Amino acid sequence: MKKLFTCVLLVALCLTAQGQQPNEKLRQLEDYLHQQGYNVKHTQSNSKGKEGVRHTYQVFFSENTFAPSFVQAPSEEVRQMVLSKHDSIRTERVKKLEQTIDSIRVTFALLGKQASESYMYEYHKEDADTIKYSLAFRQNDDSIHSTRIKNNVYFSNAREVASFDYYKSHEFNHQGDVMLGTYIHWCDESNGIAYDDMKPFDIAAFEALIQPVLKPVKKLKGVKTYPVYWRHDKGFDDDVVHGNLSQKTTRQSMYGDNSHTGLTTGTYYFIPNEYKKEAEALYKQLDSISYNYINSHPEQPYEYDFSKRIPVMNPADLLHGISYEDSDEYFLKWTLDDAGYHILFLTSKGEIWIPREWRKLKSYINGKLEYRKEK
């Protein structure tokens, strides 16, 4: 597979070098990473205070060769079978990562010839590996401004940047290797709309688009919807303690100072785990509607953050309609836990606060918790 991809990539890069943007070539690599089973996270935003849109693609890699710390089995023979199966799976996963790194290496090496500035650093010794790659493409005819700190390179005025950092080290306590990698690619695209000429995110128009796809889901047995009312008035001294999650009554999601006022309303949808197929389909539908909406309305400030996998445990934004000229903010959030799928459609006036026990609450008002009475 590695040799096949490498050959295909070489041909594609050579044939398209003259007529296509580098973005498209890096996107080929990102599509390949997705096909290999890695989660390619796509973020897009037009709220950076300048004309245009920034696209960001991220992939995180993590593997290890640790042996299981404890395996309980009815006999030594069964135990050895379990260990052997674990070794086989682990070996395949590590092999896949090594092949993936080779494909990334090929891409960066070939694009380095076309980039305004490129950097490739590798260090290998015994059980330790360090890889750092960077590519930058300039804005029009401007020169690239870069700063190098040790083996890291930073670009201040590029139009497009891609980087790959990888580390492998031996963990003696676990008697195995740990492998960590990060791939990031971002590109700025001009849309001709100055930030001062933008308009507030149209919450009513967006929610009118998503209602039809929510109707079939609400008819499923066990699916529930609840109103949201979370209020945090100015001057209320909450017990938020950053870095000490176990003592929090509520979680502050946006700012470091807990004196800000905020009122969040909306609807909370719960879909039981038994409807995994329907929930996954809905996730894709809402993503498609969100992505089409922001691209059809570049005049409305937003942040779009799509992951191929639904985030686990804590709610994460799929779409954030950003406040503009003191307008309300909008949040479409998803999360998955042992009980099922949770979707939040929220409108926030001021700062958004998310109560720690939001799954169970009827309302939260300045620290007073009112729990729902389930039938």
Helix (H, G, I), strand (E, B) or coil at 262: strand
219-275: per-residue pLDDT in tens? 999 999 999 999 988 877 665 544 444 444 555 555 555 567 889 999 999 999 999
pTM of the model: 0.81
User: What's the gap between Cα 57 and its chain centre?
Assistant: 8
3-state secondary structure (DSSP) of residue 318: strand
- Burial state string for 54-82 with b = 16 or more CB within 10 A and e = fewer than 16: bbebbbebebbbeeeeeeeeeeeeeeeee
- Element of type H or E holding 7: helix 2-16
pLDDT band, very low/low/confident/very high, at 172 (cuts 50, 70, 90): confident
Q: What 3-state DSSP class applies to 297?
A: coil
Residue 64 in contact with residue 87, Cβ under 8 Å?
Answer: no
Rounded to the nearest integer, the mean pLDDT of the chain is 85
- Mean pLDDT, range 27-50, rounded to an integer: 89
Residues forming beta bridges with residue 178, ordered by sequence position: 64, 169
Q: Which of 43-57, 113-127, 152-166, 304-318 has the lowest mean pLDDT?
A: 43-57
Single out the residue of 155, 133, 132, 136 nearest to residue 145, CA to CA: 155
What was the pLDDT predicted at 69? 64
Judge whether 282 and 213 are in contact, CB under 8 Å: yes
pLDDT, tens only, 331-374? 999 999 999 999 999 999 988 888 888 999 999 998 888 999 87
Strand ranges (E), the chain: 41-45, 53-64, 117-125, 128-138, 146-149, 152-155, 158-171, 176-189, 224-232, 250-252, 262-272, 302-306, 316-321, 329-336, 340-350, 353-355, 361-365, 368-371
Q: SS3 for 6?
A: helix
Residue 218: which of 279, 131, 175 has the closest Cα?
Answer: 279
Residue 322, CA distances (Å) to 182, 198, 326, 349 in order: 28, 11, 10, 11
Q: How many angstroms separate the CA atoms of 163 and 184, rounded?
A: 5
- Confidence bin at 136 (pLDDT 50/70/90): very high
Average pLDDT on 21-44 reads 88
pLDDT score of 338: 93
